[in-house]
Amino acid sequence: MITTSRGEPDEVDINSGTQDGYTTGTPIGMVIQNKDARSGKYEPFVTAPRPSHGDFTYSAKFGTRNWGGGGRSSARETVNWVAAGAIAKRVLAESEYDIRVKAHVNQVGDIRAPAVSFEEMLEHTEENEVRCAHPETAERMREAIDEYQREGDSIGGSVAFECRGVPRGLGAPRFDSFPARLGQAIFSIPATNGFQFGKGRGTREMRGSERNEDWTFADGRSETVTEEGDPVPVGNDHGGLQGGITTGQPVYGEATWHAPTSIPKTQETVDWETDEQKEITVVGRHDPVLMPRAVPVVEAMLRVTILDFMLLGGRINPDRVDGNPGSYDTDYHPQSPVDNPDDADTRADTVDGRDGSR
């Protein structure tokens, strides 16, 4: 109830790319139907844009838009990315790398959760509707969200994330650096207002001597993907990234969302068709916060971005994950669909000799 009152079953139909429980190598096509759309609720805003929405900018740029629910600016589109993230999660799990990803809501309005461990995120994030890994703070957040909802208002916040097991060496300088590509993915999520990694915004108050991390030799710690004796930074204020490239240490950071823009309070707009100033009320189903819904989207974007870099860097073979490209030695082979071996229409004739004799 604190995220959405829409009744979407989110049933997935897989139309291509798999057979007998295995991927075939062709694109995996999935369809997730919207069952609870109510486009009529948006008719008053066809020529009178809602405040802080993309209504006017989309119409101004393209000359038209899908006004019956947001179209390409709708957060509903993120369901596709979560589906892609599920595939990326499975591919990473099938590889030789132990890559684990988790996120949780660490701030709602001015209520901020204390720092939690990766293990606490895994254990507690999905235990409450807020998706906050600190149970006591989650209760305070829920009370605050309920209050904003009663007032017909909304509130922003942030999601913290961490990735374990990411090998060093992913990313390239400048435009294809790991944080550049990850930032693009996170900012693609609707209503994202900020992205940071490591100490993030806190570095603006840190001296170089404070932020710089000395080098030492790896001691085999489990959270670091390095060989014992390899050079590693002392600490991880950099968030697992130096020079735009992964260091083998945990990649962590935070993303910020502004308050949902669809609120039932009376607001003012203009109608470009009638040249009138209007008061409007956005009726319908409103989300008081976005962060709880953003958690699985962030996790999906992290997995997709990591897998992209793993494929580009040759860490995972793009065709196979068993380390045997070009050889057909998997335990799986297609099984004959023949139900009745005696039925001549479902079987080929046996050839006894190599010369074709029977």
Decide if 27 is inside a domain: no
Left (φ > 0), alpha (ψ -120 to 50) or beta: where does 20 sit? Answer: left
Decide if 55 is inside a domain: no
> Would you give the distance in Å from CA 293 to the centre of its chain?
10
Decide if 18 is inside a domain: no
Q: Which of 35, 43, 47 is nearest to 68 (CA)?
A: 43
Decide if 69 is inside a domain: no
Decide if 286 is inside a domain: yes
Decide if 150 is inside a domain: yes
Decide if 32 is inside a domain: no
- Residue 340 maps to which CATH number? 3.60.150.10
DSSP 167: P
Decide if 134 is inside a domain: yes
Q: Which of 168, 137, 170 is nearest to 307 (CA)?
A: 170
User: How far is Cα 28 from Cα 22, in angstroms, rounded to an integer?
Assistant: 11
Number of Cβ atoms within 10 Å of the Cβ of 178: 24
The tokens of 351 are what? 């050839």
Q: What is the pLDDT along the chain (358 residues), one digit of tens a residue?
A: 676 666 778 889 999 999 988 888 899 999 998 876 667 677 788 888 888 888 888 888 988 887 777 677 778 889 999 999 999 999 999 999 999 999 999 999 999 999 999 999 999 999 999 999 999 999 999 999 999 999 989 999 999 999 999 999 999 988 999 999 999 999 999 999 999 999 999 999 999 999 999 999 988 765 677 778 888 899 999 999 999 999 999 999 999 999 998 888 889 999 998 999 988 887 766 789 999 999 999 999 999 999 999 999 989 887 777 666 554 455 655 666 665 656 656 555 656 655 555 5
Q: What's the domain count of the chain?
A: 1
CA distance to 145, 187, 191, 233, 267, per residue, from 52 (Å): 21, 17, 10, 43, 11
Domain encompassing residue 269: 97-346
